[in-house]
Amino acid sequence: PNFSPNLSAAVDASRCNILRFPGVMPRLSDPNFMSHAPLLFRPDGTLVPKSSHCVSLEELEEMLEEYYLGPYLCGKDVTAADVAWIPYLERYAVQLPMVYPNVDVLNPRSSDAYGEVWKWFLAMERDVPAYACAVMGDGRLWKRCLEEVVELHNERAATEEEKVTLGPEPKRKGWWMKNNPKGLELW
């Protein structure tokens, strides 16, 4: 007899991956900025180092490789872990390349640098309607959020070298902008 049903294993895997978030993503980031620009700035006003972002993205890539049966954090099915991670990873994937433009290893959506992470984003867009039409947002919205944080950061930067100049926003558009012919007018 099967004394440990699959449901229990799936719940345990999902819970485990939800709890891994603080240990995988850059540490010591400013909690006051989590709603606008998560994981990019420290409480003392400095940027989280590039190396911390690289390590975090490599760890996320390894997490996705652990469950080789599918593109999601726990395998072939979307779980609570994917739902818990995606709001942060979506903003991170749009904003990190704006803070560090033209650095492929600092682009979570780079298929060359992070193939499993790239597949995860594609699967979320394809298979999870709520992500594609609500969470994904639009590059311009995430850039506006980041600009607010960068303005605060630049005001408290000790030197000109510490100030951040943003690169261009990503070219991709969210579901709403793609499917609303008057989206640009309304924006």
- C-alpha dihedral over 66, 120, 57, 156, to 10 degrees? -150
81, 74 contact by CB (below 8 A): yes
What is the per-residue pLDDT across 142-176, written as a single tens digit (0 to 9) for each? 889 999 999 988 988 888 988 999 988 776 655 55
Q: Can you tell me the distance from the alpha carbon of 67 to that of 79, in angstroms, rounded to the nearest whole number? A: 12
What is the per-residue pLDDT across 3-34, written as a single tens digit (0 to 9) for each? 444 666 667 888 888 889 989 999 888 888 88
**Cβ burial, residue 63 (10 Å; 0-12/13-18/19+):** buried
Whether the per-residue pLDDT at 141 is higher than 60: the answer is yes
Report the first-to-last Cα separation within the chain, whole angstroms: 58
- Confidence (pTM): 0.83
Q: Can you tell me the distance from the alpha carbon of 53 to that of 55, in angstroms, rounded to the nearest whole number? A: 5
- Cα angle value 169/167/149 (rounded, 5°): 85
Tracing tokens 């991709």 back to the chain, one arrives at 172
